[in-house]
Structure 1
Amino acid sequence: MENETDRSRTIEQLEGIEWPDPPSDGTGLVKAVHNLRKRPINLLTAWEMSRLIGQDVGIPWLLPVALEILRETATDQPLGGFYDDDLLTAVLTRRSPIWQSNPQWAANLKEVISLLEDISPNTREDVRSFFLEAETKASN
């Protein structure tokens, strides 16, 4: 999976949009998302990426990176390696326009899923919904 994004840059830099400071009464998630947009992509953890992706922030830059992480860790799962269900769920639950606009991303995600030997019960429903939506859109 190729991703030509300069990962030393922040989402703010890549978007060219600087968000104002979060409201003082904003939730922890709102404050976290505002702060994470200011961090270089290569310094974001999988969990931090899952928070941003789950809020549809930085999708054009983060989703390809997330797919790479998921692919790399999927091959470690059978060996007892850690697999990030939060990141997988954040990616799986992006809606169809993202996958329709980027069919290679959808194909990459399907490949990652095929590599997984053990998917948590909570995530299985998201996998099922992703495939159902992908099949429905492909047949239209």
Structure 2
Amino acid sequence: MENNWKFKSLQNLEKGQPIAPGYSSHLIKRCTELFNRPLNEYSIEDMRVMIGQQVGLNYLIPLALEQLKIDILSEGDYYSGDLLTVVLKVDKIFWSKNGALLTVLAGLIESNKDLLLQSNVPLSLLEGF
């Protein structure tokens, strides 16, 4: 990745628009807006939304892991740990292609196991880590 990738939008980085034209739901409008916003301006909630839609994972997962290193229970708009919850729900194909990121995630979970067991993060998502 380029050194300045965090200052670019997913549209610049991925060279396209993932949203199908003609749809105008609130979620699609929000994702389109976020797709055009520089990554360094993303909030925790912005990351949660886009990762939840499986958009821009090559860029957003590293950002999310940086945030989770600071606070494993980082919170978007819903509950403590909602960022981790969407990260844990990312498609297994992504993780199979990104073993180094999976190793970081597994380490974060292992080092915060006791805290996570007392959190709102669904225990079923923690299985295997």
Q: Same fold (TM over 0.5)?
A: yes
**Residue from 99, 102, 114 that aligns with 2:98:** 102
Taking only aligned residues, the RMSD between alpha carbons, in angstroms, comes to 2.4
Kindly provide the CA deviation profile for residues 77-102 of structure 1, in whole angstroms up to 9, marking residues without a partner as x.
xxxxx633121011100121111101
Partner of 1:92 in structure 2? 88
Question: Match of 2:63, as an amino acid?
Answer: V
Distance 1:19 1:110 in 2: 29
Judge conservation of contact 1:22–1:31 (CA < 8 Å) in 2.
no
TM-score normalized with structure 1 length: 0.75
TM-score normalized with structure 2 length: 0.81
How much does 1:4 deviate?
A: 4.8
**Residue from 44, 47, 60 that aligns with 1:62:** 60
Which consecutive residues of structure 2, in runs of 5 or more, have no partner in the other structure? Answer: 76-80
Judge conservation of contact 2:10–2:38 (CA < 8 Å) in 1.
yes
Q: Which has the larger radius of gyration?
A: 1
Judge conservation of contact 1:89–1:126 (CA < 8 Å) in 2.
yes
Question: Match of 2:74, as an amino acid?
Answer: Y
> What are the residue-to-residue correspondences of 1:120-135 with 2, within 5 Å?
120-128=119-127, 131=128
How much does 1:124 deviate?
A: 1.8
Q: 1:93 to 1:5 in 2, by over 3 A?
A: farther
- Count of residue pairs brought into register by the alignment: 121
Q: 1:92 to 1:4 in 2, by over 3 A?
A: farther
**Residue from 67, 77, 83 that aligns with 2:74:** 83
Q: 1:16 to 1:62 in 2, by over 3 A?
A: same
How much does 1:46 deviate?
A: 1.0
Distance 1:109 1:98 in 2: 13
**Are 1:34 and 2:25 counterparts?**
no
Distance 2:115 2:103 in 1: 20
Percent identity (aligned)? 26
Runs of at least 4 residues off by over 4 Å: 2-5, 19-22
